[in-house]
């Protein structure tokens, strides 16, 4: 496995990679969720490239950029074990050199859900992902459903800017109690870690209500919120039942629907989601 710290180093390696090239962008501190994306890329591609970059522009000044967990050595070992061909691990100067002044904004989709709470977040995500796509030059890119709005925004970006890249969205990998794996779970104290499983249970409740025929979005939101609020260590930020294509809040569940939530649990801001009806994919394959 090669590690490229600069764009120039990567370019040299890229010319020797067997195609198709699959790409998995990450912020590091890898867990099984990230590795499942690598495996998904490996099924479809002859070479897998992963990137590790904690992207400052997607964090607001009040957020956890400095505290974000990092362990490059361990990450490289995990990726090597997965048979990754190249890891692109640039520093901040390489990604945002002096004079950097071009930003990518996906408009409407980013005003909702995570974007409503974190107004500059998706501008940072879209910009770094567009830059990484141009540097890495993959045929396929794999993202996790865990960050559902991010996958939807990247799908829009790929279509709108005409990237010749197939987007694959892989299922959320969970701990045994259902908590979605996240690098941020390391912020949780033991009691908070136990309490956080209520988030998954609230999504399962939404699925169960839907399976019983409930189609009123407000009823589902309220039931989820009541369950989450029964756990004092978990502070809901939002519970959403929205149309998958527009991310507008739904009144009735018709067609593909994204049920998503964000909650503060101690120092960790956690997100999770399911798509209804179960088994539906988040984005259509292009």
Positions in the binding site for ligand AMP (CB under 6 A): 26-27, 33-34, 36-37, 143-144, 146-147, 170, 172-173, 180-183
Which is catalytic among the residues 34, 108, 210, 218?
34
Three-state SS for 169?
strand
Closest CB to ligand AMP among residues 217, 263 = 263
DSSP letters of 201-270?
A: HHHHHHHHHHHTT--BHHHHHHHHHHHHHTSTTEEEEEEEEEETTT-PBPSB--SSEEEEEEEEETTEEE
Least distance between ligand AMP and beta carbon 80 (Å)? 18
34 is an active site residue: yes
Sheet containing 47-52: give its strands across. 2-4, 86-88, 47-52, 21-26, 140-144, 166-170
Q: What minimum distance in Å lies between the beta carbon of 180 and ligand AMP?
A: 5
For ligand AMP, which is the closer residue by CB, 183 or 240?
183
The owner of tokens 């090669």 is: 2
Closer by beta carbon to ligand AMP, 137 or else 184: 184
Question: Looking at beta carbons only, is 52 or 253 nearer to ligand AMP?
Answer: 52
- Nearest approach in angstroms of CB 73 to ligand AMP is 17
| Cβ pair 206, 259 in contact under 8 A | yes
Q: Rounded to an integer, what distance in angstroms lies between the CA atom of residue 204 and that of residue 210?
A: 10
CB of 37 to ligand AMP, least distance (A): 5
Count how many residues are written for the chain: 286
Task: Cite the active site residues.
Answer: 34
């Amino acid at each position: 496995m090669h590690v490229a710290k600069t764009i120039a180093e990567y370019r040299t390696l890229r010319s020797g990679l067997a195609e198709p090239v699959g790409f998995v962008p990450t912020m590091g501190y890898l867990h099984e969720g990230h590795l499942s994306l690598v495996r998904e890329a490996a099924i479809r591609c002859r070479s897998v490239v992963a990137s590790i970059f904690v992207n400052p522009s997607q964090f607001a000044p009040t957020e956890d950029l400095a505290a974000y967990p990092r362990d490059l050595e361990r990450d490289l070992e995990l990726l090597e074990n997965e048979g990754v061909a190249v890891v692109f691990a640039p520093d901040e100067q390489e990604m945002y050199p002096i004079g950097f002044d071009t930003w990518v904004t996906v408009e409407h989709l980013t005003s909702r859900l995570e974007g409503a709470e974190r107004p500059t977040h998706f501008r940072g995500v879209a910009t770094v992902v567009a830059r990484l796509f141009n540097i890495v030059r993959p045929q396929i890119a794999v993202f996790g459903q865990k960050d559902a709005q991010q996958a939807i925004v990247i799908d829009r970006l790929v279509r709108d800017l005409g990237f010749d890249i197939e987007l694959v969205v892989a299922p959320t990998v969970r701990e045994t109690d259902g908590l979605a794996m996240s690098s941020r779970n390391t912020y949780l104290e033991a009691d908070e870690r136990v309490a956080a499983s209520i988030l998954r249970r609230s999504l399962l409740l939404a699925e169960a209500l839907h399976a019983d025929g409930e189609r009123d979005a407000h009823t589902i939101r309220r039931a989820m919120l009541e369950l989450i609020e029964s756990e004092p260590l978990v502070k809901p930020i939002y519970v959403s039942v929205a149309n998958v294509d527009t991310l507008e809040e739904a009144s009735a569940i018709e067609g593909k629907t994204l049920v998503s939530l964000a909650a503060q649990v101690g120092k960790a801001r956690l997100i999770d989601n399911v798509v209804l009806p179960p088994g539906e994919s988040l984005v259509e394959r292009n």
